[in-house]
Amino acid sequence: MFEPTPLPDARAHVVVVGGGYAGTVAANHLRINADLDITVVNSRPVFVERIRLHQLAAGSGTATVEYGTLLGEGIELVVDTVDRIDSVARRLLLASGNHLDYDYLIYAVGSTGAVPAVPGAAEFGYLLADLDGATRLRHTLIDMPAEAPVVVVGGGLTGIEAAGELAEQGRPVTLVCGGPLGHSLSKRGRRSVAKQLRKLGVEVLEAVAVSEVRWDAVVLSDHTVLPSAATVWTAGFEVPDLAARSGLRTDALGRLLTDETLTSADDARIVAAGDCAAPSDRPLRMSCQAAGPLGAQAANTVLSRIAGEAPAVLSQAFVGQCISLGRSHGTVQLSRSDDTAVNVVVGGRTGAAIKEAICKGTLWSVRREAAKPGTYFWFKSGKRSAQLPIEQQARPDQVPLGSQ
């Protein structure tokens, strides 16, 4: 791998692809060096708060925010989609037909809902993991009678949050888990979630999976046909294929393969952050809990390279999993720094208050970094070697029993 030399005479241009949690923190953190030109390219003119998409779908909240104060002074926002990265020419080809040249690139394109392989699911299911899917579901729900049945597929965190939110709005909801409810939670965590879902009237099916989705029903693995006026698919996230399409090495899901400094395995000028990064092929859990810190660390790697210094290796500790169960209840599952759950939870209204404070705090910390670059805080850990293998992580929400 070549060692880039500092650029003494020219201002370096750093382009951040993706203005989500990782991309905004990265762009703001780069402003520590006042001599950089910083551009964020994002497909939409607004920031999507993906952690509130279940609220948008259920009608209990919104999930978009103007970039305004989320990006620090001097950062240019280009609303466009990157079609291809030409890493040899250091050029981005945009969907508009324009192009952007870069000296360093931070790759932060995030993730989306995985298009399910189950028959009928792609056609009739609603993906909750991106703005388009959540908005489509919202419009369908508005037109549906309140008593029409809704099936949520996926017993992971997104499925649990979606089921709770929809049930609190008075919808009859069945949650088909295809395995244990909240498999990443501790015993207490699962009990806390199950209790509140029960109170909200959600029927939880753990032992069956969905084997077919129809326009008005789902077929379960035990051949039961369950009426469903709207089927919400939360099982599985995937990553945009931009890196793979551009000839950069990725893992099986499409995350950019990097070393522990988040630098692409193929190109020292490309650094990844957030859901689309696979450091040492051992990615962190897809979460905004990891995305922000990864954004700051990706920016640090670029800053170090520009300064001609060796970049630091990744250090990030998880603290827990926060789950909303409607607006008034929540479960906060505490974890070890490697993201394994400990048998300690905070539930009920206190859990809901903590979750809401964290959602607000996430944007607050992006804004603070925009106003005062270098103030972004995250928990660090020397325990990367203990990072959980992907199949044991909490997100992406997975449905075992062959349902996807």
- Positions touching ligand FAD (CB under 6 A) are 17-23, 41-44, 48, 50-51, 53-54, 81-82, 108-111, 128-129, 158, 161, 240, 242, 274-275, 286-289, 291, 322, 395
Q: How far is the CB of 227 from ligand FAD (least distance, A)?
A: 24
- In terms of DSSP H, where are the helices of 125-255? 131-143, 157-168, 187-199, 242-245
Q: How far is the CB of 10 from ligand FAD (least distance, A)?
A: 25
- 3-state SS, 332-366, equals EEEECCCCCEEEEEECHHHHHHHHHHHHHHHHHHH
In the complex with ligand FAD, the residue whose CB is nearer, 217 or 323, is 323
Residue 176 pairs with which residues in a beta bridge?
153, 205
In the complex with ligand FAD, the residue whose CB is nearer, 42 or 184, is 42
In the complex with ligand FAD, the residue whose CB is nearer, 206 or 238, is 238
CA distances from 333 to 237, 239, 319, 351 (A): 21, 26, 9, 9
Number of Cβ within 10 Å of residue 219's Cβ equals: 17
Q: How far is the CB of 324 from ligand FAD (least distance, A)?
A: 7
In the complex with ligand FAD, the residue whose CB is nearer, 154 or 217, is 154
Three-state DSSP at 27 gives helix
In the complex with ligand FAD, the residue whose CB is nearer, 176 or 217, is 176
Q: How far is the CB of 177 from ligand FAD (least distance, A)?
A: 16
In the complex with ligand FAD, the residue whose CB is nearer, 53 or 299, is 53
In the complex with ligand FAD, the residue whose CB is nearer, 111 or 261, is 111
Q: How far is the CB of 72 from ligand FAD (least distance, A)?
A: 17
Residue 100 pairs with which residues in a beta bridge?
92
Q: How far is the CB of 342 from ligand FAD (least distance, A)?
A: 18
DSSP code for 113: E
CA separation for the pair 292, 289 (Å, rounded): 7
Query: Residue 251 burial by CB count (10 A; 0-12/13-18/19+): exposed, middle or buried?
Result: middle
Contact in structure between 186 and 342 (CB atoms under 8 Å): yes
In the complex with ligand FAD, the residue whose CB is nearer, 109 or 217, is 109
Q: How far is the CB of 93 from ligand FAD (least distance, A)?
A: 10
Q: How far is the CB of 254 from ligand FAD (least distance, A)?
A: 11
Rounded-to-5 percentages of helix, strand, coil across the chain? 30, 25, 45
Show the tokens assigned to 63: 């999930």
CA separation for the pair 194, 331 (Å, rounded): 10
Residue nearest to ligand FAD (CB): 20
